[in-house]
A and B are shown apart, each in its own frame.
Chain A
């Protein structure tokens, strides 16, 4: 495509109108910034942006409404984790049993290395118990590498209670409904 460029007029060739225009635009912006406070900068630690609902932040372990650990240490998340950030130590044959019914065991130790984690969400995707969720935290600080490895207590404390989802209760209710369902032949 050929664009015809009009030859510049005398005034345009003098640069002066363009210079004045430049002064006008910059002055307008400076005025707005200084006196009308139209600033695009968000001053981070004081102001924070609204985290969108599906945001993939740090993965934390969650408890159910009764305060029981949901994780059953199946180690699927450890297996699927691309950067190998998750390390699970299962309780072993003689170890502690789960603190809720419908679960065989719970992890003895569950560690996520936040320096390795890439927040991909595979662990949340793969978890059969809906025990790990990527939550809205995006800013971590620590003074050492060891501090950035979050252990089970810390993950559970940060994760909090995940309301609404109690998978086995749901299954139980479904099963009961099916039992009482009038079967028509």
Chain B
């Protein structure tokens, strides 16, 4: 344990958490803007600090784009009254938002978001069991929601919590099983090694498309996004598990949901789309220069943003699944499909070896 490692890790953790938080803020903005575009509206286009409108050309454009809206949203959440309803179970009520956020943040730790900068690997924790760690942490996320539903002492959050637990359990299994073909093909659990394998053999989406589709759908369910947003279900459950929450505690649930989205997007990029690599312009091996390192990080971020846009886009496209349809899809379609997928992959690998 040398000081170098501690300092660089601390810096990386700070930067990654900062970037994730910033991305969450702007994912919310993207959500609002994209939904507006899809629904023939304009979206947030007013909020700005007073001096911005005096900047020629760029200023009004940024205001129209709503660039400053997340700042205003954040401020609003900070200064709102932190109201605790009567009859809640206080400890759990306070604990639930934290439990919803922390796992979402922890997931990002194992994801290699770039190759190297100088001598530093661009990953916080280069674990050999990266994927297992991710699944372990992700499944903790449900406790936040269940606790919130339980602690609020109210019908709608309670129903939201119940739905969430059932949904998470059913899709967790399909999700984990869908990744097994990837592991079979690569033969390694380390996410960095998986990316290395993809640089040599091509992206894993080519080898395991079915696994990708199952993983994609399951991650929609895991992050409680439409078409699987049953725990929130505004039209049915008011706001679901966070009905009784307000101000910063509510914002933490939001943060958790969007961090989960970011984590899933990062996972999909890493597992199926070659992580920080591009197969051309010599960007497929660890960078020797600083510019190369930055380019790799940018590639990763762009790929991730593409997935975030997909997450957001899909939300404004589909109606919500009914509860029984959701269960049907999880248990009767995806679980057998994932199992068959594992079997087929194993057989093909066995025949080729």
State whether the Cβ of A94 lies closer than 8 Å to any Cβ in chain B.
no
**Chain A: interface size category:** 10 to 19
A13-30 CB mask vs B (1 if < 8 Å, else 0) is 000000100110110011
Q: When chains A and B are docked, how far (Å) is the Cα of A39 from the Cα of B36?
A: 10
Contact of A30 among B34, B42, B318 (CB under 8 A): B34
Report which residue of A25, A29, A34 has the largest number of chain B beta carbons within 10 angstroms of its beta carbon: A29
Q: Cβ of A41 and Cβ of B41 under 8 Å apart?
A: yes
A134-154 CB mask vs B (1 if < 8 Å, else 0) is 000000000000000000000
Q: When chains A and B are docked, how far (Å) is the Cα of A23 from the Cα of B316?
A: 10
State whether the Cβ of B197 lies closer than 8 Å to any Cβ in chain A.
no
Contact of B40 among A22, A38, A43 (CB under 8 A): A38
Assuming the contacts A22-B317, A22-B318, A23-B317, asked whether A29 and B39 have C-beta atoms less than 8 A apart, the reply is yes
Closest 7 CB pairs of A and B: A22-B317, A30-B37, A33-B37, A26-B38, A41-B42, A40-B40, A41-B41
Report which residue of B34, B40, B313, B316 has the largest number of chain A beta carbons within 10 angstroms of its beta carbon: B40
Chain B residues whose C-beta falls within 8 Å of the C-beta of A39 in the assembled complex: 40-42
Q: Cβ of A32 and Cβ of B40 under 8 Å apart?
A: yes
Q: When chains A and B are docked, how far (Å) is the Cα of A41 from the Cα of B34?
A: 15
Q: When chains A and B are docked, how far (Å) is the Cα of A134 from the Cα of B275?
A: 66
Q: When chains A and B are docked, how far (Å) is the Cα of A19 from the Cα of B321?
A: 13
Interface residues, chain A, with chain B CB atoms under 8 Å away: 19, 22-23, 25-26, 29-30, 32-34, 38-41, 43
Least Cβ–Cβ distance between B65 and chain A, in angstroms: 12
Q: Cβ of A26 and Cβ of B313 under 8 Å apart?
A: yes
B313-326 CB mask vs A (1 if < 8 Å, else 0) is 11011100000000
Chain B residues whose C-beta falls within 8 Å of the C-beta of A29 in the assembled complex: 37-40
Give the nearest-CB partner of A40 in chain B: B40
Least Cβ–Cβ distance between B324 and chain A, in angstroms: 16
Chain A residues whose C-beta falls within 8 Å of the C-beta of B37 in the assembled complex: 29-30, 33-34
Report which residue of A30, A32, A40, A43 has the largest number of chain B beta carbons within 10 angstroms of its beta carbon: A30
Give the nearest-CB partner of A31 in chain B: B37
Least Cβ–Cβ distance between B247 and chain A, in angstroms: 27
Give the nearest-CB partner of A45 in chain B: B46
Instruction: For chain B, residues 19 to 53, give those with C-beta under 8 angstroms from any C-beta of chain A.
Output: 34, 36-42, 45
Instruction: For chain B, residues 312 to 353, give those with C-beta under 8 angstroms from any C-beta of chain A.
Output: 313-314, 316-318
Q: When chains A and B are docked, how far (Å) is the Cα of A30 from the Cα of B309?
A: 13
Least Cβ–Cβ distance between B268 and chain A, in angstroms: 17
